């Protein structure tokens, strides 16, 4: 049986979408993101439950990647601890390789990248307007940009709205294999300086610095 949702918004407010939020929350330790400086690309809604317990400081959030005015107003920061890429709309999916590349540039050494995506092989849930990504593609892009995979979890195996299926979904999500409707992963940027050095130079993130500046 396949569940069909007309829009991503319709899915997010459904019982299956609410269960996805619970499983995302379980991916993080209770204080893992507390007070961290973060940037968020894509739909933030699936992470709201997780952020209630962690409360990161989101310096900048962009739901759609639009060239016009994309980097017109970004904060000054002393270092980005984490970047989230929620690959649940086409504008983020179309720019995913570039976003991963720029995440490596923007994160401070050993900063972390979190990616949420809908699996290409998922057959039980169809969400109109939501792209599907092969996990192998994500892992290849991470390797190309010198990210080290830390943790990966498959989410939402059963979208059925009943306590039995929710318990089964929770059990399967902790096992080290795929098959769920969504995947979430974390990867760490390679250290570029000795770990004892913590004085990161403040930078102003602009369109020019993000997309065209020479890498150092």
Q: What is the CATH number of the domain that holds 108?
A: 3.40.50.150
Residue 137's pLDDT is 93
Name the burial class of residue 138, with classes exposed (0-12), middle (13-18) and buried (19+) by CB atoms within 10 angstroms of its CB. Answer: buried
Does 183 fall in a domain? yes
Residue 210 covered by a domain? no
CA distance 59 to 91: 21
Does residue 208 lie within any of the structural domains? no
pLDDT in tens, 48-63: 989 987 789 998 888 9
For residue 49, tell me if it sits in a domain.
Answer: yes
- What's the total number of domains in the chain? 1
Q: Report the C-alpha gap between 6 and 32 in whole angstroms.
A: 34
* Residue 102 belongs to domain spanning: 3-192
Question: pLDDT averaged over the chain?
Answer: 81
- The answer to whether residue 158 sits within a structural domain is yes
Q: Identify the pLDDT of residue 200.
A: 45
- Of 183, 152, 176, 180, the C-alpha closest to 168 is 180
In three-state secondary structure terms, 82 is: strand
């Amino acid at each position: 049986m396949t569940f069909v949702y007309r829009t991503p918004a319709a899915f997010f407010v459904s019982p299956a979408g609410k269960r996805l939020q619970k499983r995302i929350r379980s991916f993080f330790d209770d204080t893992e993101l507390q007070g961290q400086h973060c940037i968020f690309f894509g739909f933030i809604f699936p992470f709201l439950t997780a952020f209630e317990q962690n409360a990161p400081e989101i310096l900048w959030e962009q739901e759609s990647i639009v060239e016009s005015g994309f980097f017109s107003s970004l904060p000054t920061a002393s270092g980005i601890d984490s970047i989230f890429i929620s690959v649940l709309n086409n504008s983020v999916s179309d720019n995913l390789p570039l976003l991963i590349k720029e995440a490596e540039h923007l994160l401070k050494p050993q900063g972390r990248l979190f990616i949420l995506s809908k699996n290409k092989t998922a057959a039980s849930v169809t969400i109109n307007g939501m792209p599907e990504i092969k996990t192998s593609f994500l892992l290849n892009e991470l390797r190309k940009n010198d990210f080290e995979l830390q943790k990966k979890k498959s989410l939402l195996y059963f979208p059925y709205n009943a306590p039995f299926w929710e318990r089964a979904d929770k059990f399967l999500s902790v096992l080290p294999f795929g098959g769920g409707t969504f995947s979430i992963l974390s990867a760490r940027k390679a250290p570029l300086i000795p770990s004892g050095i913590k004085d990161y130079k403040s930078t102003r993130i602009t369109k020019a610095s993000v997309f065209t500046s020479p890498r150092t």
